[in-house]
Amino acid sequence: ILKVGSFPPNNFGLFDITGNVWEWTSDFYGDDYYKASPVENPKGPQSGRFRVIRGGSWHSGAMCVQTYYRNGLPISWVDFGVGFRCVRNVK
């Protein structure tokens, strides 16, 4: 795991968006949902047993750290390569 800010920011000025640990999102995961979902900010299915993880981790392949890549895990999953990011709206 790398120190925060180890790499330059992305084009939006954001640091450390991918690659440390997979990050849980609030979206439910559906295998077929994203094939027909909105391009911008897809919300995922309304319910399910799996939640979306994104961002890849330090032990993921290069494909997994692409910002568009997502996967699903059971809600009760615990793993050293999965975490979360605290966020807040900025006005």
Domain ranges of the chain: 1-77
**pLDDT band of 1, cuts 50, 70, 90:** low
Average pLDDT over residues 36-42: 84
Which is higher by pLDDT, 85 or 78?
Answer: 78
**pLDDT band of 65, cuts 50, 70, 90:** confident
Which is higher by pLDDT, 51 or 36?
Answer: 51
Q: How far apart are CA 66 and CA 54, in angstroms?
A: 9
Phi and psi torsions of 42, nearest 5°:
-65, 135
For the cut 90, the answer to whether the pLDDT of residue 72 exceeds it is: yes
Contacts of 72 by beta carbon, 8 Å cutoff, 6+ apart: 29, 30, 31, 48, 50, 51, 52, 53
For the cut 70, the answer to whether the pLDDT of residue 61 exceeds it is: yes
> Would residue 19 be called left, alpha or beta, if left means φ above 0 and alpha means ψ between -120 and 50 degrees?
left
Torsion of CA 16, 18, 20, 26, to 10 degrees: 110
| Token output for 70 | 């997502």
